[in-house]
Amino acid sequence: MTSVARFYVLIPTDLGMSGAVWTAAGRVRRFERIFLPRREDVESLIRREYPDAVPGKAGGEEASIRKMLSGQTPKFDLNLLAFERLADFHAAVLRAQVRIPRGFVTTYGRLATAVGSPGAARAVGRALATNPFPPIIPCHRTLRADGSLGGFGGGLALKRTLLEIEGVRFDRAGRVEARYIL
């Protein structure tokens, strides 16, 4: 039987320090969580939530995460994400979310319909609020029905910044312009 080890890496970005935690069993790596830049010390947060994780190197994925936080869209193998740790609905929402292209957004209600659960906008919001894989699963690309930002684990300022980096524009009221909403 192959033993499983847990690793983490800190990823400096233009927006602040990000991080990632993954498990490795032999040559198989699976990302458990990716941390957005935040005011709190990311390494302390990782050590508190994953006390058994040790520093490691994630390979090319570190560069991909850094690029995503700068608005680029590098390839990332979704098979490296530990979707199996999520409930079916949560995984379905995240898999639908990843299909929203850079520079566009959708609403919680439209995403609920896309996963076969019309009327479940709040449940979609909860699933996105607990997205363990930002920015690979770009949960910042989902808004309230009126085009306002809604919530975001990294804070609304970071959500807006990420959307602006991707070319999304806002009206004077702070809502996303309709031409960017799918």
Could you list the active site residues?
A: 139
Residue 75's identity, in one-letter code, is K
Please, what sign has the CA dihedral across residues 12, 128, 101, 82? Answer: positive
Report the C-alpha gap between 123 and 113 in whole angstroms.
12
Specify burial of residue 152 (Cβ count, 10 A radius: 0-12, 13-18, 19+).
buried
In 3D space, the residue among 41, 39, 43 whose CA is nearest the CA of residue 53 turns out to be 43
Q: How many CB atoms lie within 10 A of CB 4?
A: 11
Neighbour-count burial of 81, counting CB atoms closer than 10 A to its CB (0-12 exposed, 13-18 middle, 19+ buried): buried
Q: CA dist 80 to 23, 120, 147, Å?
A: 10, 28, 32
CB of 16 within 8 A of CB of 4?
Answer: no
